[in-house]
């Protein structure tokens, strides 16, 4: 698998799994599979608060690891634009404007970065909503309150 990262540190996901010393993540599995394995190992029910709380923590950490937390670097914005197929833009403002029009599931986007595949773009917000609900691939809404990539990409699903 072609796991890539804009971050110089790989401690985010490792530190998440460090909270569970009896679990060993599979480096060849994607983020969903590793979390599903952990949840099964810990016997978390998918409808439980513990499952949802840990999922939210995990995907936030994985997103920061994959895309970084420095939202003032033009290169980071350009890389994200290229990753979703927009191409190379010359300013952060242009990147934000173009990315705000993209309908992509953020969990899928991270999974694609992990696997090296192209992310699926949806023609409408409604089709993104349906897909997200059908596959239960939610990204924590509170993460959008911070400035940066998530704020631009996260769409109202519920």
Condensed to tens digits (0 to 9), the pLDDT of residues 79-103 reads: 999 999 999 999 999 999 999 999 9
Average pLDDT over residues 108-131: 93
Residue 10: predicted pLDDT: 42
Residue 40: predicted pLDDT: 97
At 11, the pLDDT band (50, 70, 90 cuts) reads very low
State the alpha helices, DSSP H only, in the chain.
11-18, 31-42, 49-67, 74-83, 92-99, 106-115, 125-135, 149-153
At 15, the pLDDT band (50, 70, 90 cuts) reads low
Residue 99: predicted pLDDT: 97
Distance separating alpha carbons of residues 29 and 43, to the nearest angstrom: 19
């Amino acid at each position: 698998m072609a796991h890539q990262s804009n971050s110089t540190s790989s401690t985010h996901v490792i530190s998440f799994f460090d909270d569970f010393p009896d679990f060993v993540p599979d480096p060849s599995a994607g983020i969903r599979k590793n979390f599903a394995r952990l949840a099964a190992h810990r016997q978390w029910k998918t409808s439980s608060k513990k499952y949802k709380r840990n999922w939210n923590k995990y995907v936030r950490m994985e997103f920061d690891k994959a895309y970084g937390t420095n939202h003032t670097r033009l290169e980071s914005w350009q890389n994200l634009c290229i990753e979703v197929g927009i191409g190379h833009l010359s300013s952060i403002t242009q990147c934000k404007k173009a990315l705000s029009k993209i309908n992509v599931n953020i969990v899928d986007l991270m999974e694609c970065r992990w696997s090296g595949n192209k992310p699926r773009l949806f023609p409408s917000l409604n089709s993104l909503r349906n897909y997200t609900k059908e596959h239960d691939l939610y990204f924590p809404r509170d993460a959008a309150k911070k400035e940066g990539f998530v704020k631009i990409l996260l769409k109202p699903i519920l």
